Amino acid sequence: MKGYLPGNQITLLKNGEEFFPALEAALNDARKYAHVETYIYRDDDTGQRIAQALMRAAQRGVDTRLLVDGFGSRPLPEKIFKSMQEAGVQVLVYRPERSRWSLRRYSLRRLHRKLAVVDNSIGFVGGINIINDADTPELNPQYDYAVEIQGPIVGEILWAVRRVWNLVSWSQLRGKRERNHHGVESTETDGRTHARFLLRDSFRNRRTIERAYLRAIGKARKEILLANAYFLPGTRFRLALIEAAARGVRVVVLVQGRTDHAMANYAKQAFYAQLLDAGVEIYEYQKSVLHAKTAVIDGIWSTVGSSNIDPFSLVLSREANLVIYDHAFASELRSSMMKEIESGAVRVRAESLKNIPLIKRFLIWVSFGVVRIMMGMVNYAHHDPKPTNRP
C-alpha cells in the first residue's frame, strides 16, 4: 500500500460530545508541546473550555499554540484570545479579514483545517470546529466526525501544523522561522492501522485530496458511501460516481437537508437528476445540521477530514483529511453513517423532482449559475456542461 504508514491506533470520534473531551484530556496531559488549529473559534462555553485547557498547559511550561482562520473566526473573539495570550498561549490569525465584501481569489484562500497535535504523541484530524455544536435547542447536535490518532502518522501532522505556523508567523513578522520538529519522539503504539495524512494547499498538494477520492472511487467494486456537508462536485467527480454506478457499485450520497448556506443548498439540487438517473442514491439529512466530510468505500477504504466536495475545499482552501485502510475502522464508520441515514435522512426520489414549484426551480438554477461562475473563477469547472435540463 504505497504511501500508507502502518502502526497507527485510530479512534473514531462522533460530534463534539466525543471530540472535545478527548481533545481536552490530551491538552491536560501535554508535557512539551500543544498546537490547535481551527477554521472557526467561538467565545462560547466550548471555546472557553478549550481555552482553559490551553492556558493550563501554557502555565505548566508547555509550548502552547492556537492558529485560527481570519474569516471563519470573524468576528475574532478578542477577549478570550487576550486572556490566552496573557497566560502564555501563542495565538496567530491566518489571513486576518480586512473586508468582508472582498471577492478576490486571494481572499477565498482560507485555513479550513481542523487539526491538533500534542507532544508528537496524539493527533486529531476532522471536521469539528471549536464551537458549541449543540447550541440550537430545537436540533440535535451538529452531525460531524473527527479521529484521535496515536502512532507514526502524528509526526506528519506535527510537520504540517508547524509549517503553516512558521509561514503565518514569518508573514506577520511575529517571530523567526523554526525548524520543523520539537524534540519529542513519536510514541510507539501497538496499533496496526495503515493510514495516510493528506493535505490540500496551493503548492505541492493542489489536488491531493480530490485525486485520492477519484482513485478510490475508480477502484470501487461493491459500495461507495459518502457524507458531505457541501456537495458541489465538478465534472470529473460526478462522472466517477456515475461510472461506478454503471459498474454495479452501490453509490450512496448523504447531503444536508437543513443548511446554513441557502445558495449551496439550492445549487447542489441542480445535480440531482443526473445522479439519480445514473442510479446514485441521494439522501438529505434532516435530524440536524450535517457537517461531516467522510466516506467509506468497499468496507476497507475510508476518510475523515475537513474537505468538502466543492470548489473551495478541493481547489482553494487549506484542508486536511486522514485516509484509513482498515476493515475494522471502515466497518465502524460505515455503521455510524448508515445509522444516521436510516434514522435521520430522507431519500430523494427522481419522481419528486417533477413536482418542484417554479419558484424553487428558479432559485436552484440561479444558485447553480452563481456557483458555475465561482467555479470558473477558481478553475474547478473543467468545462463543466449543464448537468441536466431539469432540476
Q: Give the active site residues.
A: 112, 114, 119, 291, 293, 298
Tally Cβ neighbours within 10 Å of residue 84. 21
**Residues 227 and 257 sit within 8 Å (Cβ to Cβ):** no
List the one residue out of 94, 78, 82 whose CA is nearest residue 36.
Answer: 94
**Residues 149 and 323 sit within 8 Å (Cβ to Cβ):** no
- Phi (first) and psi of residue 143, to 5 degrees: -85, 115
Q: State the DSSP string of 311-352.
A: HIIIIISBEEEEEEE-HHHHHHHHHHHHHHHHHHEEEE-GGG
Residue written as grid cell 447531503: 255
Rounded to an integer, what distance in angstroms lies between the CA atom of residue 73 and that of residue 42?
7
- Phi (first) and psi of residue 212, to 5 degrees: -65, -45
Rounded to an integer, what distance in angstroms lies between the CA atom of residue 169 and that of residue 172?
5
Secondary-structure percent of the chain, ordered helix, strand, coil, rounded to 5: 40, 25, 35
**Residues 147 and 117 sit within 8 Å (Cβ to Cβ):** no
Rounded to an integer, what distance in angstroms lies between the CA atom of residue 130 and that of residue 43?
9
- Contacts (Cβ under 8 Å, ≥6 apart) of 337: 225, 227, 254, 292, 294, 296
Residue 77 to residues 14, 48, 81, 223, 235: CA-CA distances in angstroms?
26, 11, 6, 43, 39
H helix intervals, the chain: 15-28, 45-59, 78-86, 153-171, 208-219, 235-246, 262-268, 272-277, 311, 327-344, 358-377
